[in-house]
């Protein structure tokens, strides 16, 4: 009796020649994390447009500190929510990089949008030392005039941490190295996520009828 041969393993799916270039990426994280700079470099690296929601707010409504001073934080959050809502809906239509303001995740509607499975939400993290270097003389509305802006920054981050964690697909450290290094880390994370998703889809796809796999894993077409 001839023993049955074990089935050959399915070959791995072909690799995308430009991994992550078709991703829909959202950068979140605390104030001073460098999201705007990282987003600009990431977009250039992947050939994707960048939509910076804080920059859109400034363009349409003026400097953010003035909005806080003249109209209050509740009105700013209303403006921010509308800009973020439109931008995230646009992101579903085309691959791009979106950079959100540090407090955008406070809105439950924004968090609901960020949970869409098509989006890759990357949390940018920095430590207290890095924050201290970036916050000296800060004009950020929630930190301006504070005797200890780093302590205030840490309190804000700790308060928002569960919300960042709730929506983040992955976290990337941005405390050490130049922004270009952070971009490399993000691309590595996105590439790994994309390849895992492609492999999972490939495993779930039944083999084509009339196709056999040779010993090297290559497809062998058979005549019907």
Q: Determine whether the annotation assigns residue 35 to a binding site.
A: yes
Q: Determine whether the annotation assigns residue 39 to a binding site.
A: no
> Phi/psi at 48 (nearest 5 deg)?
-115, 150
Q: Determine whether the annotation assigns residue 71 to a binding site.
A: no
Q: Determine whether the annotation assigns residue 144 to a binding site.
A: no
Q: Determine whether the annotation assigns residue 131 to a binding site.
A: no
Q: Determine whether the annotation assigns residue 33 to a binding site.
A: yes
CA distance 220 to 224: 13
Q: Determine whether the annotation assigns residue 180 to a binding site.
A: no
Strands 50-52 and 170-173: unpaired
* CB contact at 8 A, 35 and 80: no
Q: Determine whether the annotation assigns residue 37 to a binding site.
A: yes
Long-range Cβ pairs for the range 75-82 (8 Å, 24+): 76/141, 77/103, 77/106, 77/107, 80/53, 80/104, 80/107, 81/107, 81/109, 81/110
Question: Which residue in 98, 118, 114 sits closest to 106, CA to CA?
Answer: 114
Q: Determine whether the annotation assigns residue 160 to a binding site.
A: yes
Binding residues for substrate: 54, 77, 102, 160
Binding residues for ATP: 32-37, 140
Binding residues for Mg(2+): 36
Binding residues: 32-37, 54, 77, 102, 140, 160
């Amino acid at each position: 009796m001839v023993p049955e041969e074990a089935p050959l393993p399915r070959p791995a799916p072909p690799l995308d020649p430009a991994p992550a270039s078709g991703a829909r990426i959202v950068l979140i994280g605390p104030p001073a994390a460098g999201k705007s700079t990282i987003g600009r470099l990431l977009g250039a690296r992947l050939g994707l447009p960048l939509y910076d929601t804080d920059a859109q707010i400034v363009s349409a409504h003026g400097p953010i500190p003035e909005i806080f001073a003249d109209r209050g934080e509740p009105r700013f959050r209303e403006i921010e929510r509308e800009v973020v809502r439109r931008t995230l809906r646009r992101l579903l239509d085309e691959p791009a990089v979106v950079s959100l303001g540090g407090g955008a995740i406070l809105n439950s509607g924004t968090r609901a949008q960020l949970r869409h499975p098509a989006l890759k939400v990357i949390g940018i993290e920095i430590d207290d030392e890095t924050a201290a270097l970036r916050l000296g003389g800060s004009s950020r509305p929630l930190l301006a005039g504070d005797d200890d802006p780093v302590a205030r920054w840490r309190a804000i981050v700790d308060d928002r941490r569960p919300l960042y964690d709730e929506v983040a697909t992955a976290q990337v450290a941005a405390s050490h190295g130049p922004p270009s290094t952070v971009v490399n880390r993000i691309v590595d994370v996105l590439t790994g996520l994309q390849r895992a998703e492609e492999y999972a889809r490939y495993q779930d796809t039944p083999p084509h009828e009339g196709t056999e796999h040779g010993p090297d894993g290559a497809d062998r077409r058979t005549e019907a």
